[in-house]
Amino acid sequence: MSNQLTGINKLFRVKFWAATMLNKNDVLIQITAFFWLVQKLLSWKLWVTERTIPIVPCFDLLENTPGFIHWFLLGASIFLLLYLLIWPNEKSLQIVLIILEIASCTLDQNRWQPWEYQYLFILFIVVINKNKQVLPVFLFVMACIYFYSGFYKFNSHFLPQIWDKMILKDFLKLDKNIRHISVLYYSGFIIPIVELLGGLGLMIKKYRKATALLLIGMHSIILIILGPWGLQYNQIIWPWNVAMIIFLLYIIYHESSIPFKWVILFNGWNKLVFISWLVLPILCIWGWWDNFLSANVYSGSTPNIFICVNDSSKLKFPSGYYLKNETPKICAGKITISLQKWAMAEINVPVIPQLRVYKKIEADFLKKHPNVGAVFVYVY
């Protein structure tokens, strides 16, 4: 017995010694694991079945998956993230976590949130690359996120929906006459310009540090606008913005040791990273790839859905799910439920803005609530 205890003590001493000798890739795993864990806990209802927002599996045959499997996958994910937070260089556990996360997201498409997709790929990059190749490929993914996020904001909906309504009206409380001054109104395009050029700047060694500092400033402003001292909106992306700031600081710190060469992206499994982050997001233009997987967020161009009901007394929904005179034209005076407001109130994340997901939720809602006179209105 004493020999076993001695062996266990030696094992833990080795583990803790290894934890003090972390390389830069281990630190990247720790940063990712920490914020991944925080966002998992904030959105825990997303990962289980005990909720009113319907489960939307990737395949119909998974619709009746028992609830305990969802709970098991959540529990295993939390355990592995905690483990990697302390001992990040366990390659076998990194692979297990990737497999479990893909399995969990297959059980519900709404789990393919932008941050989930990003963290999953960071872990994948560490697994498939040798030490010196991790940072350049990670840098490439970060650059693609900013580039496409800016690219998809260049549309006719961004200024009225995001810049004018959310920032000028709701956050800055500016009068409508002031908001519609041309210079002020069109200055909103500075945001996508900064993001798009930020993505390009990260790829150019000469401008990398300055670009990262500019993007850190942008994330700080986003936190002020959406965070607890601003609009208090979409809580799940608060830690994500902090994570992006730390990722950028991490890039600045290791800036001199990032030998980026495009050829790295065509070696082995890195081809999948190249296709997933540079090629597939282009297909979002034609609706052939998901908005959230293409960094098409806060662009104002994604479809939305509202539920108009005649009799809300037959729905056991909290009052916070209903809109109060915010969109009177959509439901013509009927009681209005915003699907995204419902989702954020219950599972703390938005529903994936894809028509196939909306249609599944509509079918499930009508099946469960046949007598409320519900009509689904799609807004583009």
Q: Is 234 domain-assigned?
A: yes
> Cα(304)–Cα(121) distance, rounded to whole angstroms?
27
Do 320 and 233 belong together in one domain?
Answer: no
| Structural domains counted in the chain | 2
Q: What is the mean pLDDT of residues 212-235?
A: 96
The DSSP symbol for 55 reads P
Do 48 and 21 belong together in one domain?
Answer: yes
Q: Is 299 domain-assigned?
A: no
pLDDT band at 259 (very low <50, low <70, confident <90, very high): confident
Do 318 and 201 belong together in one domain?
Answer: no
Do 206 and 349 belong together in one domain?
Answer: no
Q: Is 341 domain-assigned?
A: yes
For the ranges 28-37, 228-237, 325-334, the lowest mean pLDDT is seen at 325-334
pLDDT of 45 over the 50 cut = yes
Do 130 and 244 belong together in one domain?
Answer: yes
Do 140 and 234 belong together in one domain?
Answer: yes
As beta bridge partners, residue 376 has 307
3-state helix, strand, coil in the chain (%, to 5): 70, 5, 30
CA angle at residue 302 from 297 to 303, to 5 degrees?
A: 150
Q: Is 340 domain-assigned?
A: yes
**Which domain covers residue 24, as residue numbers?**
2-294
Do 191 and 225 belong together in one domain?
Answer: yes
Do 337 and 259 belong together in one domain?
Answer: no
Do 343 and 203 belong together in one domain?
Answer: no
Pull the structure tokens for residue 199.
């993505």
Do 101 and 189 belong together in one domain?
Answer: yes
As beta bridge partners, residue 306 has 338, 377
Q: Is 100 domain-assigned?
A: yes
Q: What is the mean pLDDT of residues 323-349?
A: 80
pLDDT > 90: what percent of the chain? 73
In this predicted structure, what is the pLDDT of residue 119?
98
| Average predicted confidence (pLDDT) for the chain | 90
Taking only the tens place, the pLDDT of each residue in 5-44 is 455 455 444 444 444 446 889 999 999 999 999 999 999 9
Q: Mapping DSSP to helix (H, G, I), strand (E, B) and coil, where does residue 70 land?
A: helix
